[in-house]
């Protein structure tokens, strides 16, 4: 799976704040009325006011809030990436309610976390290089300008890499399916063989996507994820000592190396991506080649050098838990290779749902299209509600207590049980103008035995107090690369109604593969309260 680092959103993405452009300058007949310079509206650093450009916004910051960006850049000797961190640091502090952030030293915003934009499509970030050139009275071709350009190129490269990880799986699958559809239009193969080829090429594309470094970098840098696996293995060395371990979808081999260091007798690392070649080198470079065996291929097709294994470890979770359908392969490995009484790590997963309301996001993501530079673009809303969104949310957008609607015991669950319809009931903890959607996330638990029973409605923070390694991907915990899955309600079909604190909403959540053999997931939610009821389907692709 994938994570966030430097993630300046591409301009073609649907904006979550102010759009960078409304490109009409090239249309015939407009040349005599358009201004010479392209306007890039910028959201204020200390307010939600929208300014026509970065210069006018920074002028207001200087006069009203005593914030002089160019002076701070010069005084602290900031480079291009430092400038990005400074902007995101100020925005994050203001978002917390602090209108007087401390920027007296670079140390206040040196954390790489500030490379991630607080506002998606933040036009100010794209204007920093222009502002820097204005602040420095240097001639073209100077060393300073060359360094800025070089940093900008590096940033653009990183932007491309880290945007790839989110879309790699979807793009590779879509590309393969589109190619096959084009072939179908030019010929008339038998439907059965077409379906087989179509899914096979999509499957190949899925594994190719995991050859990208950025995907593995994002996962390894997700400390919540990686620390949890490490802590479970190292805190239970007595469980792993002299055992045979199978790592399904091993990636760079980090989990396999944890197990080897914990005393495993043999570790078999399997992956069907080219990353397995890097894993072999990593294992060798760390002197673990006598313990870890790396094998290229699908777990359903490879021949392992052992009949059975004592432990299966795997990081198989996708967005919304089941996107990618990798857990199907883990279940196959469990049923084929795990000894009776063997251990699955992790051992349990739970899915949680909560009511969601975020009028600011709705305004930027939906209402935005009603008036774009004075033009009505409602046609851009076509099918905007059909796709589930993956994004990180503030806790205040969760307007009711989350409820666990499905618990997955990984030692016993079947593939058939990964398609389901489960009931839930939540209670609002505040008044809201409308229910904007549903937030879904998952929690992961590492129990030390296949006989361990997960308590009903287990919460990671409570389980950690009992010594059980666990983590959440929910908005109340530290952000992970999985973030949360947001299913926005189509208010045109389900008229928004104000709801009161204490109101109860009951319903059902359903998961189903988008089609047989696919890795996407269709999510359905039925809900019913005193004020409204509805049912809607979203695809997680």
Active site residues: 315, 324
Beta-bridge partners for 51: 42
Can you tell me the distance from the alpha carbon of 217 to that of 223, in angstroms, rounded to the nearest whole number?
11
Confirm if 201 and 176 have CB atoms less than 8 A apart.
yes
Distances (CA, A) of 109 to 44, 104, 124, 132: 19, 10, 17, 18
Alpha carbon 72 to chain centroid, angstroms:
33
HEC profile of 455-479: CCCCCHHHHHHCCCEEEECCCCCCC
Alpha carbon 98 to chain centroid, angstroms:
27
Can you tell me the distance from the alpha carbon of 417 to that of 322, in angstroms, rounded to the nearest whole number?
12
Query: Smallest Cα–Cα separation from 248: which of 220, 275, 268?
Result: 268
Can you tell me the distance from the alpha carbon of 480 to that of 391, in angstroms, rounded to the nearest whole number?
10
Q: Which residue has the tokens 């990005």?
A: 84
Alpha carbon 501 to chain centroid, angstroms:
30
Can you tell me the distance from the alpha carbon of 176 to that of 205, in angstroms, rounded to the nearest whole number?
7
Query: Smallest Cα–Cα separation from 349: which of 255, 238, 462, 472?
Result: 472
Can you tell me the distance from the alpha carbon of 367 to that of 403, in angstroms, rounded to the nearest whole number?
30
Return contacts of 15-18, CB within 8 angstroms, 24+ apart: 15/120, 15/121, 15/364, 15/365, 15/368, 16/119, 16/120, 16/121, 16/361, 16/364, 16/365, 17/43, 17/119, 17/120, 17/121, 17/122, 17/364, 18/42, 18/43, 18/50, 18/119, 18/121, 18/123, 18/364
Beta-bridge partners for 268: 246, 293
Can you tell me the distance from the alpha carbon of 103 to that of 113, in angstroms, rounded to the nearest whole number?
16
């Amino acid at each position: 799976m994938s994570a966030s680092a430097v993630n300046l959103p591409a301009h073609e993405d649907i904006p979550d704040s102010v759009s960078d452009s409304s490109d009409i300058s090239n249309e015939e007949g407009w040349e005599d009325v358009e201004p010479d310079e392209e306007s890039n509206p910028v959201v204020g650093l200390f307010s939600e006011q929208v300014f026509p450009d970065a210069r006018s916004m920074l002028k207001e910051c200087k006069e009203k809030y005593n914030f002089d960006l160019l002076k701070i850049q010069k005084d602290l000797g900031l480079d291009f990436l430092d400038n990005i961190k400074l902007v995101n640091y100020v925005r994050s502090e203001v978002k917390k309610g602090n209108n007087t952030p401390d920027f007296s030293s670079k140390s206040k915003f040196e954390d790489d976390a500030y490379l991630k934009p607080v506002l998606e499509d933040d036009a100010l970030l794209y204007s920093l290089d222009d502002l820097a050139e204005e602040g420095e009275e240097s001639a073209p071709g100077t060393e300073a300008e060359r360094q800025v350009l070089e940093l900008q190129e590096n940033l653009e490269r990183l932007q491309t890499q880290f945007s790839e990880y989110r879309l790699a799986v979807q793009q590779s699958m879509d590309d393969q399916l589109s190619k096959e559809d084009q072939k179908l239009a030019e010929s008339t193969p038998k439907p059965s063989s077409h379906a087989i080829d179509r899914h096979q090429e999509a499957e190949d594309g899925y594994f190719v996507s995991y050859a990208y470094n950025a995907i593995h970098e994002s996962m390894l840098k997700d400390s919540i994820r990686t620390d949890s696996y490490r802590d479970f293995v190292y805190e239970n060395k007595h469980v792993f000592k002299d055992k045979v371990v199978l790592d399904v979808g091993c990636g760079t081999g980090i989990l396999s190396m944890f197990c080897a260091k914990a005393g495993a007798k043999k570790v078999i690392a399997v992956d069907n991506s080219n990353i397995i070649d890097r894993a072999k080198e990593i294992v060798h470079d760390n002197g673990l080649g006598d313990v870890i065996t790396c094998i290229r291929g699908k777990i359903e097709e490879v021949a392992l050098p052992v009949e059975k294994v004592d432990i299966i470890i795997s990081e198989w979770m996708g967005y919304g838990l089941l996107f990618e359908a990798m857990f199907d392969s883990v279940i196959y490995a469990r049923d084929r290779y795990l000894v009776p009484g063997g251990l699955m790590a992790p051992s349990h997963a739970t899915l949680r749902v909560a009511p969601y309301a975020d009028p600011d996001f709705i305004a930027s993501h939906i209402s935005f299209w009603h008036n774009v530079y004075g033009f009505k673009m409602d046609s851009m809303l076509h099918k905007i509600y059909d796709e589930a969104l993956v994004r990180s949310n503030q806790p205040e957008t969760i307007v009711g207590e989350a409820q666990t609607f499905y618990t997955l015991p990984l030692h016993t669950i079947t593939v058939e049980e990964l398609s389901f319809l489960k009931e839930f009931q939540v209670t609002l903890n505040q008044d809201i103008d409308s229910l904007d959607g549903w937030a879904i996330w998952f929690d992961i638990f590492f129990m030390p035995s296949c006989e361990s029973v997960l308590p009903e409605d287990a919460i990671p923070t409570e389980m950690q107090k009992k010594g059980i390694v666990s983590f959440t991907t929910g908005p109340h915990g530290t952000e992970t690369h999985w973030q949360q899955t947001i299913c926005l309600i189509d208010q045109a079909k389900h008229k928004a109604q104000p709801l009161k604190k204490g109101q109860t909403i009951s319903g059902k959540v359903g998961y189903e593969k988008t089609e047989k053999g696919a890795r996407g997931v269709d999510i359905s939610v039925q809900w019913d309260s005193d004020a409204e009821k509805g049912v809607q389907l979203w695809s997680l692709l």
